[in-house]
Structure 1
Amino acid sequence: MEDTLHGNAQKLGAKGKSVETRVLPETALAADPMPSGIPPQGSVVVTVSRQFGSGGSDIAHLVAKAAGLNYVDQKIITEVAERLGVDIEYAVQQDEQTSGLSGNILEALRSSNPFNVHYMYPAAKAQSQTQELAYFHLTQRVILELATQGNAIIVGRGSQFLLHNNPRTLHIHIFAPMEYRIDYVMKQYQIKRANAKEMIEQRDDEQARYLRRYYGVDGQQPNFYHLLINTGLFSFESATNFICQALPIVQAIV
């Protein structure tokens, strides 16, 4: 299912470890130098940028299965949450979207004390922004670690920019006309057309703000990708075949 959480993802860090307190953002930001993100020779990495409702995640799953690649999506959220010592729900809030005042208010309302007005104070806002930055840097680290291991297909989260120009790395963008996306979302989530359109517009806005905030672009520039595939024209199976045919070419790049 498009942009959904895919089961219980395998943890990358220490297993069986109980995390009770949140790691301070300063500690997370002062970590070791980032991995290169360059896959070993003989391996390959694929990044998949996708419009919500275009079927990009479905295609990534099909490519992972056909080419024997490690599918990476929910695994990033799970790993970052574990390293920061936060709940998965908090990590999902930070994922591919920019935290703002409305997000802080929502978090306060969901907490045990819904009248926690400290979210309004500048000091608290600065702390929240620092935590958000720590989450972003850890997200980058996890992506780079997985890319350095090779043979992975990484969905979203600006991976096409983070790994741009890396050898043995293929960048894909999946898109579709709005009407196709609306029909897709209506079927997947069993919702009405107006709700589907609203959901798509919200997701598009969140993703664009995330990319502009952290990478300075909105992800629509074609020069960042090797393949742009319109699922309004091509089936998921055709899209999978296009990507798989490109893998040996990319894999040969030194």
Structure 2
Amino acid sequence: MATKPSKVPRVENILEDQVMKWQKRVDRRKKESAVKAPVITISRQPGILSDKLTKGLAEALKLDIFDNEIINEVAKSVKMSEKVVASLDEKTRSALDSWIQMLKSTRYLLPDTFLTHLTKVIGAIGEQGGALIIGRGANLILPPETTVRIRLVAPLGLRIVTLSREEKIASIDEAQRKIHKKESEQRAYIRKYFEVDIDDPVQYDLVINTQFMSDEQIIDVVKAGLKKKEVPKRRRFDPKPDEE
């Protein structure tokens, strides 16, 4: 019986290329005094097709895409997680550790090994800049002041039809069950690890109903949101000063 090929070697190769790209980007910023590229997170309701949109957005803003599969595999591997964090300078790594400790105290994060690696990996990716991160609660991990957090939504009926067509599901009832199952899993994951409701609009900068908008129109909306969002002068992971 043939064994299923492991995803890990492929992800390791992707990571090696990414670390090299980060280093070149840092060197270029030092020479040109360039501004750090933006970071965008995307959360989407099940049944929304966003591959074409995310690729178009990444191309338009010159961002690297980090999807669920890559984030998961890196977070599950101590070796790969450490490699991502090691791409940061010492001062930034220290600030990242402080940020994660603050997250644990304010969001009451579970003492979970995977979650610890996940927060470090997503935090390091965010600090490098130039990233489009899909799912995994990235909008709840990265500092909201320096991240554009997007939620894609659409009516249930439209999502059912879309999923049926995309996955060639003959039964509408089956497609609806799949969507409800995925929604329950997403909601449980966010509730378990971050103690918030995934549908809470306060957790996002832009909640976009994709029903009547083309990918090009959504990209224009995101670009406009990116221009309007002010970036503070303080470091990305510095804890906020105590309020009086």
Q: Report the TM range for the smaller structure's normalisation.
A: 0.5 to 0.7
Q: Who is 1:188 aligned against?
A: 166
Query: Which deviations, in whole Å up to 9, do the C-alpha atoms of 1:46-100 show, x marking residues without a partner?
Result: 0111101123444222211221101011221231233379xxxxxxxxxxxxxxx
Higher share in helix: 2
| Structure 2 Cα separation of the partners of residues 64 and 253 of structure 1 | 23
| Structure 1 Cα separation of the partners of residues 50 and 70 of structure 2 | 17
User: What letter corresponds to residue 48 of structure 1 in structure 2?
Assistant: I
Output the TM-score relative to the length of structure 2.
0.65
Q: Who is 1:209 aligned against?
A: 188
| Structure 2 Cα separation of the partners of residues 58 and 219 of structure 1 | 23
Q: Who is 2:61 aligned against?
A: 67
User: What letter corresponds to residue 148 of structure 2 in structure 1?
Assistant: L
User: What letter corresponds to residue 137 of structure 2 in structure 1?
Assistant: G
Q: Is 1:12 paired with 2:15?
A: yes
Higher RCO (C-alpha 8 Å, min separation 6): 1
- Please state how far the C-alpha of 1:247 moved relative to its aligned partner: 2.5
The structure 2 residue matched to 1:249, chosen from 187, 208, 228, is: 228
The structure 1 residue matched to 2:149, chosen from 171, 196, 221, is: 171
Uncovered stretches (5+) of structure 1, i.e. residues with no partner: 16-39, 86-131
User: What letter corresponds to residue 59 of structure 1 in structure 2?
Assistant: L
Q: Is 1:138 paired with 2:132?
A: no
- Please state how far the C-alpha of 1:236 moved relative to its aligned partner: 2.1
Matched-pair contact (CA < 8 Å) for 1:42–1:252: no
Q: Who is 2:141 aligned against?
A: 162
1:209-248 equivalent positions in 2, closer than 5 A: 209-248=188-227
Alignment length (residue pairs): 178
Matched-pair contact (CA < 8 Å) for 1:72–1:153: yes
**Percent same amino acid at aligned positions?**
27
**More displaced, 229-238 or 56-65?**
56-65
User: What letter corresponds to residue 63 of structure 1 in structure 2?
Assistant: L
| Structure 1 Cα separation of the partners of residues 176 and 37 of structure 2 | 39
Output the TM-score relative to the length of structure 1.
0.63
Matched-pair contact (CA < 8 Å) for 2:145–2:231: no
**More displaced, 191-200 or 49-58?**
49-58
The structure 2 residue matched to 1:47, chosen from 41, 47, 52, is: 41
| Structure 2 Cα separation of the partners of residues 78 and 185 of structure 1 | 25
User: What letter corresponds to residue 165 of structure 2 in structure 1?
Assistant: K
